[in-house]
A and B are shown apart, each in its own frame.
Chain A
Amino acid sequence: MSASAEERNARTPWALTAPALMLFVGVLLIPLAMTVMLSFHDWGQYKGIEPVFILKNWHEIVTDPYYAEMFGRTFRIAILTTLLTAVLGAPEAYILNRMGGRWKSVFLLVILGPLLISVVARTLGWALLFGGNNGLVNKLLMSAGLIRAPIPFMFTETGMVIALAHVMMPFMVLSVWAALQRLDPQIENAAMSLGAGPVTIIRRIIMPQIMPGVLSGAIIVFSLSASAFATPAIIGGRRLKVAATLAYDEFLNTLDWPLGAAVATLLLAALVLIVVGSNALIERRYAEVFR
């Protein structure tokens, strides 16, 4: 009797997860596998998709310098966005953490809230601020005497990086914030009582302890920026393509699905490699922090 009860007990978790598991296998894993297969199919203007196994699309991506340039731009933008969010987001999280209770929660809401506001609306805001040569940002910078001639923001990588950094900033602040919560404020006081100045405290006490937070935030920001679609499409326009907008064009304008699938597969593979690799590196480096 006890054996059958135990058996039933062992089956319960599987019975509870079975519907979700079937859903994920049926409409997530199978479509993803189909996409990888699609990248090996042939395509022609008139014949459409031909289900054969060829390396044509992959060969084109590897040999045509257009794709090297496009992936180069994608990852360049992602790296610059990550750096910008880290350099500005980490100090902000630190300042936020030192604020008094009431202000802390107000500003946390102000900075993290945009995370849930439509990316289209937020990017539209940047398009309005940049808007041509006499956009608000340029007017402000010129009247402050910081620049002489207007900087072109629309349809440039500069504008894409700024808008993307704004979109991704909450992830970085959140990640550093989480690391700061684990930090013992007494260590800072101890360092101060031993005669350490503010610069030494930040460099020797705070920085090493929040580094895991900065790095895990960087991984999130990097992978989201490299696959971002809305912001590059609106700020970059039709000519400045990144991986996601190129795949969109191949699928919905050119209709060369196999080539688009190859671009998407390469993007996914590159991101998985980078994210898994850097996660492993960080965990080895900071094993004691993660326990």
Chain B
Amino acid sequence: MSRNGPLALIFHTIFVIVMVAPILVVCLVAFTPEGFLSLPTNGFSLRWFRAIANYPEFVHAFWVSLGLGALSSFVALLFAVPAALAIARYRFRGRDALAALFLSPLMIPHVVLGIAFLRFFTSAGLGGSFAALIIAHVIIVFPFALRLTLAAATGMDLSVEMAAVSLGAGGWTLFRRVTLPLILPGVISGWALAFIQSFDDLTMTVFLAAPGTETLPVRMFLYIQDNIDPLVTSVSACVIAITMTALILLDRFYGLDRVLAGKGDTGR
């Protein structure tokens, strides 16, 4: 049941079409049977998807992105889970300042972060290395990992933990057997959102990646700078498909509105 008038519905329809059009056009052009950029009017073809295999740079960049996203999100959680538990459970001096510091990568433009990391890692002799990319990505995905873990830890029923303590559990056992399983949905969603952020980052990574450590967005960007052809649309279509899969999984397990609602209020 809708309470919107016809004018509102027309506005809404145009709005949705404009929002979807650029994404749709990329996916459609990817299926063109022609050798140039065009909408597939004479049937669909997979030739440009097969063509990806002949460009090892794209395939390599894809594996770099996948490894980088998975690893940096995992490392970020190793730091973020204890920090989230401390911020959720304890009232201590400097708590708000710490939380603000941990969320600050959202506020600092990624171009500034890219420059700062380029300067830092070059001085440290790590310029262009995969290790430098991991550390930089840990910083930019940290706020997402922290925030979803924090939400799970804040909503947790503390009496379960107290019961475990009264039964003699403590320290590591308490964390591994009681606390972690209870906050796990938040932790996994935090990992997924962090992964998407890492997988999609161009602005910061473009400063740090060297040939051999180029991520997929960086490779795509450098390719587009020279020429736009159907090959880059089929690569983009694959990226869109991967993100959509992650999105649907996130929505199923956690609720996309919860993930995004947390994201909107402070920006990047």
Contacts and interface: CB of A to CB of B under 8 A. Distances in A.
Interface stretch (B21-29, B46-54, B154-162): B21-29
Contact of A125 (B21, B89, B116, B251): B21
Given A10-B92, A17-B83, A169-B19, A121 B26 contact: yes
Contacts of A124: 22, 26, 220, 224, 228, 232-233, 236
B241 to A, nearest CB: 10
In this complex, the member of A23, A96, A98, A174 whose beta carbon has the largest number of chain B beta carbons within 10 angstroms is A23
Contact of A120 (B1, B102, B236, B247): B236
A20 B82 contact: yes
In this complex, the member of A21, A32, A223 whose beta carbon has the largest number of chain B beta carbons within 10 angstroms is A32
A17 B243 contact: no
Given A16-B86, A20-B142, A128-B37, A229 B108 contact: no
A117 B239 CA distance: 8
A54 interface: no
Nearest to A21: B98
A21 B16 CA distance: 43
A95 B26 contact: no
B12 A109 contact: no
A114 B20 CA distance: 8
Given A27-B135, A124-B232, A248-B207, A112 B260 contact: yes
Interface stretch (A59-67, A203-211, A264-272): A264-272
Given A20-B79, A112-B260, A120-B217, A248 B120 contact: no
A188 B215 CA distance: 50
A31 B26 contact: no
Interface in A29-59: 30-32, 34-35, 38
Interface stretch (B2-10, B66-74, B182-190): B2-10
Interface string A102-140: 010101111111111111111111111101000010000
A127 to B, nearest CB: 6
Contact of B111 (A17, A23, A88, A247): A247
Secondary structure of the A side of the interface? Answer: helix
Contacts of B152: none
B203 A229 contact: yes
A289 interface: no
A109 B87 contact: no
B170 to A, nearest CB: 12
B19 A114 contact: yes
Secondary structure of the B side of the interface? Answer: helix
A81 interface: no
In this complex, the member of B19, B79, B138, B224 whose beta carbon has the largest number of chain A beta carbons within 10 angstroms is B19
Contacts of B261: 174, 178
B115 A261 contact: yes
B117 A229 contact: no
Interface string B241-268: 0011011000100001100110111111
A252 B206 CA distance: 10
A30 B15 contact: no
A171 B221 CA distance: 23
Given A13-B92, A121-B26, A178-B261, A32 B142 contact: no
A127 B37 CA distance: 11
A153 interface: no
B243 A116 contact: yes
Contact of A35 (B102, B116, B196, B232): B116
B163 interface: no
A208 to B, nearest CB: 20
22 contacts: A13-B92, A16-B85, A20-B79, A28-B116, A31-B120, A92-B11, A100-B1, A109-B256, A115-B263, A119-B200, A120-B221, A120-B236, A121-B239, A124-B232, A129-B22, A174-B263, A220-B264, A226-B109, A229-B202, A229-B203, A271-B109, A272-B107
Interface of B: 1-4, 8-9, 11-12, 15-16, 18-26, 29, 37, 78-80, 82-83, 85-87, 89-90, 92, 95, 98, 101-102, 104-105, 107-112, 115-120, 123, 135-136, 138-139, 142, 196, 199-200, 202-203, 206-207, 217, 220-221, 224-225, 228, 232-233, 236, 239-240, 243-244, 246-247, 251, 256-257, 260-261, 263-268
| Cβ-closest 3 pairs across A and B | A125-B22, A227-B109, A220-B267
Interface of A: 10, 12-14, 16-17, 19-21, 23-24, 27-28, 30-32, 34-35, 38, 88, 91-92, 95-96, 98-100, 103, 105, 107-129, 131, 136, 163, 166, 169-171, 174-175, 178, 216-217, 219-220, 223-224, 226-230, 233-234, 243-244, 247-248, 251-252, 257, 260-261, 264-265, 267-268, 271-272, 275
